[in-house]
Structure 1
Amino acid sequence: MGGYIVDFTIVALLIIGITALNGVMSNAIGLKVFGGKNKNEIVDKSVSLQTGWKSVGGTKKK
């Protein structure tokens, strides 16, 4: 019974890991192939909107 649980855990971790890596890799390939010139357009717009905002949360550094 212990061997079954170990095997099941290994297979589950492999399936979850492969699925996660597949999503990351397909996203990277999609950006390179279909991204065009404006790959970072959304990120750049977000950064430009957030300039000058106050930091909230966390701890203050002295």
Structure 2
Amino acid sequence: MGGYFLDFVIVAALIVAGTALMGNISRTMGERLFGRNKRRAHIEASRRIQQGWNAVGGKK
């Protein structure tokens, strides 16, 4: 019975890990294949929005 439970836990962990990795892998492949010149679009949009904001915290 202990062997069955151990096998069940191992298979469950592999399924969860595989599912998590498939999401990251498919996102990366999609960005590289279909996002050619739009890779930094989100970063540039954030930079434009934050332009002119005052810095908060830290020493001047």
1:7-54 alpha-carbon deviations (Å, 9 max, x no partner) = 000000000111111111110000001002121211332244346462
Which structure: larger Rg? 2
Percent identity (aligned): 38
The letter for the 2-side match of 1:17 is: A
Q: How many residues align?
A: 56
Structure 1: runs of 5 or more not aligned: none
> What is the TM-score with the length of structure 1 in the denominator?
0.71
Stretches of 4+ moved more than 3 A in 1? 47-53
Aligned equivalents of 2:49 and 2:36: distance in 1? 23
> What is the TM-score with the length of structure 2 in the denominator?
0.72
More helix by share: 2
